[in-house]
Amino acid sequence: MKTNLFQILGVVAIGVMSFSACETDACKDVNCGTNGTCVDGDCVCDTGYEGVSCQTEERTKFIGSYSVTEACTSGNYTYSLTVTTSATGVDKIVAQNFGDYGVDLVGTVDGSNVTFANQTVGGGTFSATGQLTGSILTISYTVTAGSSTDSCTITATKQ
C-alpha cells in the first residue's frame, strides 16, 4: 500500500513539474518603465500615467492656454483659461482664471476626465467635472457664493 502511494505521489509531482515547465512568462519581454507594473503581459500604469509603457503623464494633454465660451444661468461669457501642472501630484492640474473669477482650481485627471472637488476660493465654492476631447475641454460647474448659485458649462478650445 505504501509503495503504491509513493508511486502515485511521484507521478503527480513529475506531472506538476512538467506542466510548470511549459508555462511561459507573459511579462518576460514587457517593459512598463518605472511608472507601471506588468500583469499577464500588459502594463498596468500607476495613477497619473498612461501609454504602452506607462511613459506619459495623463495630465500633459490638458496643459496649455484655452479660449473659453461659457454658458451660465447668469449669462454668456468669453475669456481665457490656462491649465498648468500642480505640484500636489502627478495626476493634478491647476485651472487658472477658472470661470473668469480670477481664481485657480486644482483638478484631478483620470484619463481624459478631470474632476474639481469642492473648493472654496475667492468667496465662492466651486464644484466641477470635465472631459477633454481632442483640443476641446468641456467643463460643467456650479459656484455658490452666499445664497446665490450659478451653473455653467465651459467650452474651452486649446490654443
pLDDT tens across 12-39, in order? 444 444 445 567 899 999 999 999 999 9
Question: What is the C-alpha separation between 51 and 64, in angstroms, rounded?
Answer: 20
Q: Check whether residue 63 and residue 124 sit in a common domain.
A: yes
Over residues 81-89, mean pLDDT: 97
Q: Check whether residue 39 and residue 8 sit in a common domain.
A: yes
pLDDT tens-digit readout, 116-137: 999 999 899 999 999 999 999 9
Domain containing 25: what range? Answer: 2-56
C-alpha cell at 54: 506607462
pLDDT score at 23: 74
Q: Check whether residue 119 and residue 92 sit in a common domain.
A: yes
pLDDT score at 13: 46
Domain boundary among 29, 56, 83: 56
Torsional sign, CA 35, 57, 127, 96: positive
Q: Check whether residue 17 and residue 50 sit in a common domain.
A: yes
C-alpha cell at 88: 500636489
What CATH number is given to the structural domain containing 71?
2.40.128.420
pLDDT tens-digit readout, 31-80: 999 999 999 999 999 999 999 999 999 999 999 999 999 999 999 999 99
Number of domains observed in the structure of the chain? 2
Q: Check whether residue 119 and residue 64 sit in a common domain.
A: yes
CB of 107 closer than 8 Å to CB of 92: yes
Residue with cell 509503495: 3
Residue 23 class from Cβ within 10 Å (0-12 exposed, 13-18 middle, 19+ buried)? exposed
